[in-house]
């Protein structure tokens, strides 16, 4: 009986943790880095902290707002640009809501 109660408590805690996880998925995630590659509908961003480098694929629909140095469109972003992207995690992956081009001078 004691094992059953303990097992039920473990299952209940696991279910609560699983239910709380999707709530964080609605929070925007900010990525800063250098554009590594640009494809139709997306870009690869090279980010890093310390010695850890990571390439993150971000989808860029035409509804993505782009700011910096005047009015820009997503299609004007090119490899080597330094950007900050506010993204949301969806079933299709990271989707950029807003991109700000940073001045590197």
Confidence category of residue 99, pLDDT binned at 50, 70, 90: very high
61 has pLDDT over 80: yes
Determine the Cα–Cα distance for residues 84 and 76; give it in Å rounded to an integer: 15
pLDDT at res. 6: 61
The answer to the question of residue 68 being in a domain is yes
- E strands of 27-104, at which residues? 29-39, 42-49, 52-59, 65-67, 82-90, 93-101
The answer to the question of residue 83 being in a domain is yes
Judged on CB neighbours under 10 Å (0-12, 13-18, 19+), 21 is exposed
The answer to the question of residue 85 being in a domain is yes
Give the chain's domain count.
1
pLDDT in tens, 70-95: 667 888 899 999 999 999 999 989 99
Range of the domain at 80: 28-101
pLDDT in tens, 9-37: 555 555 555 555 554 557 889 999 999 99
């Amino acid at each position: 009986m004691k094992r059953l109660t303990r097992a039920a408590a473990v299952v209940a805690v696991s279910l609560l943790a699983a239910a709380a996880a999707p709530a964080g998925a609605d929070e925007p995630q900010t990525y800063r880095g250098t554009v590594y590659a640009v494809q139709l509908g997306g870009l690869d961003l090279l980010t890093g902290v310390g010695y850890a480098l990571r390439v993150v694929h971000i989808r860029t629909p035409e509804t993505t707002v782009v700011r910096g140095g005047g009015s820009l469109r997503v299609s004007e972003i090119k490899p080597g640009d330094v950007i900050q992207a506010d993204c949301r995690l969806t079933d299709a992956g990271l989707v950029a809501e807003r991109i700000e081009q940073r001045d590197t001078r």
